[in-house]
Amino acid sequence: MANLGYWLARSVWNMGIGTAALLRFTEYAFAAFDVERLQASVFAWNPASARVLEKCGYLLEGRLRWAVVKGGEVTDELVYGLLRAESPLRSPGRA
């Protein structure tokens, strides 16, 4: 398993950059590393970041209630995962 994270400057939001970068990273990670699972977490109050994961095939697997603190506020953490076998980008020859 490998955890991933990303951050984009506000000036480039809604341009497809996050989705394009995550698709390429996902493809690279499964091709270059012997991992069967990629995982990412987002703050519950950030639906745009969750949508990037969903557009790249990641599935919401759980909500950790009051699991993180950001800016002095406690919030839920959403956990997304993608298995190599379920990835639309999976490497040829791999299960």
Which of the listed CATH numbers 3.90.930.12, 3.10.20.30, 3.40.50.11270, 3.40.630.30 matches domain 2-86? 3.40.630.30
Give the model confidence (pLDDT) of 28-46 as tens digits. 999 999 999 999 999 999 9
- Could you state, in order of their start, the residue ranges of all structural domains in the chain? 2-86
Question: How far is residue 40 CA from its own chain's centroid?
Answer: 4
List 59's β-bridge partners, or say none: 81
Across the chain, where does the E strand assignment appear?
Answer: 2-4, 37-43, 59-70, 73-83
pTM for the whole structure: 0.88
Q: Whole-angstrom Cα distance, residue 13 to residue 3?
A: 22
Tens of pLDDT, residue by residue, the chain (95 residues): 999 999 999 999 999 999 999 999 999 999 999 999 999 999 999 999 999 999 999 999 999 999 999 999 999 999 999 999 998 765 454 44
